[in-house]
Amino acid sequence: MRTVQARATLLAKGLGVGGRSVTVFAQNPFVVRGPDGREIRGTKIIVSDVPISLANLVIEDALKKKGVKMQSSLKMEGIRDKEGKLTEWLSSRRFAYIDVPEILMERMLIVGQFKAKIFYKEMAEANLCFACHKSGHRAVDCPM
């Protein structure tokens, strides 16, 4: 009984930590759910080797043409200092959250006249070769 009351109180009033108010949610607010309420598995995709001046919408369009279902828009990645703290400087790397692709994507993405590199964790789990961009083996064992 006490745990039900404590949970209800946390959800209604939030939580105070270090003099700050922290909102408590009943469900993870960062999980994407479909129309049936079930969680849609997502992953973080990283896009690199593109100029900082290239618009995010151009990269998003290239990803969508490859069948990527975006859960968020692309964001610029910040640069960290020697202590690991974020600075006000931006790198040219971008990231977004996407539905986990049903078919493993190639590591290279053509965006206009640029060859961008893409990576998401499921690529590493599938033994994707970083030399020829095919799955089933790693770069050290690449026949190319």
The pLDDT value given to residue 16: 77
- Bridge-partner residues for 75, per DSSP? 95
Write out the residue limits of the CATH 3.30.70.330 domain(s) in the chain.
Answer: 32-141
Are 108 and 117 contacting, i.e. CB atoms less than 8 angstroms apart? Answer: yes
pTM exceeding the 0.75 threshold for the entire prediction = no
Tokens of 51: 């100029």
pLDDT tens, position by position, 80-133: 999 999 899 999 999 999 999 988 888 899 999 999 999 998 887 777 676 776
CATH superfamily of 32-141: RRM (RNA recognition motif) domain (3.30.70.330)
